[in-house]
A = this chain, B = another copy of it.
Amino acid sequence: MNEVIKLLNHHRSLRKFTDEKLSEETIRTLVGAAQSASTSSYVQAYSIMGVTDPEKKKALREISTQSYVEHNGHLFVFVVDYYRHQELAKKTDADISIDKTENLIVGVVDASLAAQNMAVAAESMGLGICYIGSLRNDVKKASEILGLPDGAFPLFGMVAGYPTEEGSQKERLPFEAVYHENTYQRIDEVEDDIEAYDQRVSDFYSERTEGKRDDKWSGQVINMLSKKQRLDVDEVLKEKGFLGQ
CB neighbors of B among A94-134 (8 A): 94-96, 98, 100-106, 108-109, 112-113, 115-117, 119-121, 124-125, 130-131, 133
CB distance from A40 to the nearest CB of B (A): 5
A35 to B89, Cβ gap below 8 A? no
Cβ-defined partner of A43 (8 Å) among B41, B87, B221 = B221
A181 to B49, Cβ gap below 8 A? yes
Contact of A105 with B225 at beta-carbon distance under 8 Å, contacts A4-B7, A179-B50 already known: no
CB distance from A136 to the nearest CB of B (A): 7
Q: Which residues of B contact A170 (CB under 8 A)?
A: 42
Q: Once the chains are docked, how many angstroms separate the CA of A52 from the CA of B50?
A: 43
A101 to B233, Cβ gap below 8 A? yes
B224 to A101, Cβ gap below 8 A? no
B226 to A96, Cβ gap below 8 A? yes
For residue A182, CB closer than 8 A to chain B, the reply is yes
| Stretch among A15-23, A64-72, A148-156 lining the B interface | A148-156
A50 to B182, Cβ gap below 8 A? yes
Q: In the A-B complex, list the 6 residue pairs whose CB atoms are closest, starting with the nearest.
A: A112-B112, A4-B124, A116-B116, A96-B225, A87-B187, A102-B230
| Number of A residues with CB within 8 Å of any CB on chain B | 113
- Closest B residue by C-beta to A35: B172
Q: Once the chains are docked, how many angstroms separate the CA of A30 from the CA of B174?
A: 14
A180 to B113, Cβ gap below 8 A? no
For residue A84, CB closer than 8 A to chain B, the reply is yes
- Closest B residue by C-beta to A10: B36
A13 to B38, Cβ gap below 8 A? yes
- Apart from A113-B116, A243-B243, what 15 extra A-B contacts exist at CB < 8 Å? A3-B3, A8-B33, A31-B175, A41-B224, A42-B224, A43-B225, A47-B180, A49-B180, A87-B187, A92-B222, A100-B228, A100-B233, A101-B243, A102-B234, A146-B183
For residue A218, CB closer than 8 A to chain B, the reply is yes
For residue A220, CB closer than 8 A to chain B, the reply is yes
Q: Once the chains are docked, how many angstroms separate the CA of A154 from the CA of B222?
A: 22
Cβ-defined partner of A180 (8 Å) among B4, B44, B50 = B50
B109 to A42, Cβ gap below 8 A? no
B33 to A155, Cβ gap below 8 A? no
A178 to B147, Cβ gap below 8 A? no
Cβ-defined partner of A79 (8 Å) among B172, B184, B187 = B184
Contact of A175 with B116 at beta-carbon distance under 8 Å, contacts A84-B190, A88-B194 already known: no
